[in-house]
Amino acid sequence: MTDKEIITHSRSLRNEASNLLNHEGLLPMLKYFGTTRVIGSYTLDTMTWRDIDISMILPDEQDVELFFEIGSRIATKFHVTKMSYSNHFIRNFPGFDHGLYWGIRLCYAEREWKIDLWGYGETDYETHMADFDVLHNQLQQADRTAILRIKHAVSQRPDYRGDVYNSMAIYRAVLEGKVKSLEEFNAWIERNSHANT
């Protein structure tokens, strides 16, 4: 795809996501339960595939019953094909937050969407949102076309979203390494992975 096509595709994905969140009522439904915020590539305006990241405050960060009620509301209202629950207070999986998590796959407008929903206590939520706001502000000065160009290519790899090839690595490479192409990104990853070993 050309840069113009990639930008147009990203805009189209964001419009679809806005319709799902607002017109179809996913976001108001979640806000009924408390403070909720859409983050990730939707807010950063770097969408290359159908993926939405949402974080919310739970009055009790380990209220599993409430989190399942939220999951039930989603499964009832939307065409959900799969929901995966994790309690990361118990699971304690390396690299993941301490919180409650729903990994959701749903069909909207004949397309499959991946929704990552995290429930946090207020303190952890505020910490994550502060970190996200820093990234958001930094990316205002970044080359968005370069981000989309690289992310479009990398997101089609089977190991995308792993420890090495993920959105944060792309953002860092563009912000810190000023990379503009997939080749430059691969070289940046190679240099930095060696530097960390």
pLDDT the model gives residue 96 = 66
Other beta carbons less than 10 A from residue 41's beta carbon: 23
Dist CA 105 CA 196 (whole Å): 34
Strands (E), 69-178: 79-87, 100-108, 111-120
What is the 8-class DSSP label of residue 164?
Answer: S
Q: Is the separation of the CB atoms in 174 and 146 below 8 Å?
A: yes
Stretch 40-63: mean pLDDT, rounded? Answer: 96
Q: Which residues contact 70 (CB under 8 A, 6 or more apart)?
A: 30, 33, 102, 117, 119
pLDDT tens readout for residues 126-178: 999 999 999 999 999 999 999 999 999 998 877 776 666 889 999 999 999 99
Dist CA 32 CA 176 (whole Å): 39
pLDDT tens readout for residues 65-78: 999 999 999 999 99
pLDDT tens readout for residues 9-51: 999 999 999 999 999 999 999 999 999 999 999 999 999 999 9
Look at residue 17 and give its three-state secondary structure.
helix
pLDDT the model gives residue 161 = 66
* pLDDT band at 197; cut points 50, 70, 90: very low
pLDDT tens readout for residues 89-134: 888 766 667 899 999 999 999 999 999 999 999 999 999 999 999 9
Give the predicted TM-score (pTM) of the model. 0.91
